């Protein structure tokens, strides 16, 4: 794919530390090219977030930023406006410059909902979320504030107790959905997983190169489950393989990544995103790696 950049080209970028591994450039540039837009997308390795935000205002052609680890919280300090859902989540992954103002939102939440609902409905279902970190926050607030699951149960490591307490305290004023938390151990897994319908894994366990790691024993899954792992490398984690072996429906992290990127594309360009083109670009890049 050859990208032509001119003096009039609108630039979008991903900022993170590190950022060289990001698949966002190949995904967004494929979409820009498919739609014939004079846009280009690059990766910026950023350590000083305050200066990066100021630089966005200084560069006239710079329209949008994707924000990845570890900057999703700090970037909020330098924005003029934050969407209500991103404010609740406490993290921004998308920044748009409009009339000299920086506006932040969180499309990770949208991406998670779209990924799950491409397979099943959420309302009325018991949802188990493995983990209480930043990704878990985005998924949980999307479920609790935008949909009506029967309940949400968090399973987490004992060392994350304070993080879990904080997450539940932040969520409860904004939803009527019952929310529970349990330290992850054999008893908690056995009492929770079989009684749920949707299981969402938000930790790095099972991500390349540690592909033989998994938090949930295979015998706890069944045909009743939809299992969503936000990891996309490998494309089928041990968690998903175990779930699939027991007849569960599975989703890896590619749909969430593509849907959140598609929503960014829509925000920045005002054009309907070519989601199929974006998905193919991501899969092709993963295949090459």
CA angle 166, 162, 116 (to 5 degrees): 60
Is the backbone peptide bond immediately before 35 cis, with ω within 30 degrees of 0?
no
- Most distant CA pair in the chain: distance in Å? 61
CA 238, chain centre distance (Å): 20
The SS3 assignment for 5 reads: coil
Q: Is 227 left (phi over 0), alpha (psi -120 to 50) or beta?
A: beta
Q: What distance in Å separates the CA atoms of residue 112 and residue 131, rounded to the nearest whole number?
A: 15
For residue 5, the tally of other CB atoms under 10 A from its CB is 12
The residue annotated as part of the active site, out of 63, 72, 97, 125, is: 72
Whether 72 sits among the annotated catalytic residues: the reply is: yes
* Active site positions, annotated: 72
């Amino acid at each position: 794919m050859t990208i032509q950049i001119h003096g009039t080209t609108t630039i979008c970028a991903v900022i993170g530390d590190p950022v060289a591994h990001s698949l966002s450039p190949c995904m967004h540039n494929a979409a820009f090219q498919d739609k014939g837009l004079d846009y280009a997308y690059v990766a910026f390795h950023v350590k000083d977030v305050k200066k990066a935000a100021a630089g966005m205002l200084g560069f006239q052609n710079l329209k949008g930023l994707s924000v990845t680890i570890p900057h999703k919280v700090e970037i909020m300090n330098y924005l003029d406006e934050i969407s209500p859902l991103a404010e609740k989540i406490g993290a921004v992954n998308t920044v748009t410059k409009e009339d000299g103002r920086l506006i932040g939102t969180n499309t990770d939440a949208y991406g998670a909902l779209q990924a799950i609902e491409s397979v099943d409905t959420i309302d009325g279902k018991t949802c188990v979320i493995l983990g209480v970190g930043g990704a878990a926050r985005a998924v949980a607030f999307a479920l609790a504030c935008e949909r009506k699951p029967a309940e949400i149960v968090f399973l987490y490591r004992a060392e994350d107790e304070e993080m879990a307490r904080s997450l539940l305290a932040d969520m409860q004023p904004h939803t009527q959905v019952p929310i529970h938390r349990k330290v992850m151990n054999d008893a908690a897994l056995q009492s929770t997983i079989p009684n749920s319908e949707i299981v969402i894994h938000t930790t790095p366990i099972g991500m390349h190169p540690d592909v033989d790691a998994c938090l949930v024993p295979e015998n706890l899954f069944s045909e009743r489950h939809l299992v969503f792992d936000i990891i996309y490398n490998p494309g089928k984690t041990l968690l998903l393989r175990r779930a699939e072996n027991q007849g569960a429906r599975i989703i890896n992290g590619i749909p969430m990544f593509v849907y959140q990127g598609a929503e960014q594309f829509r925000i920045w360009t005002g054009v309907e995103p070519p989601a199929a083109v974006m998905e193919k670009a991501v899969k092709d890049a993963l295949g090459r790696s």
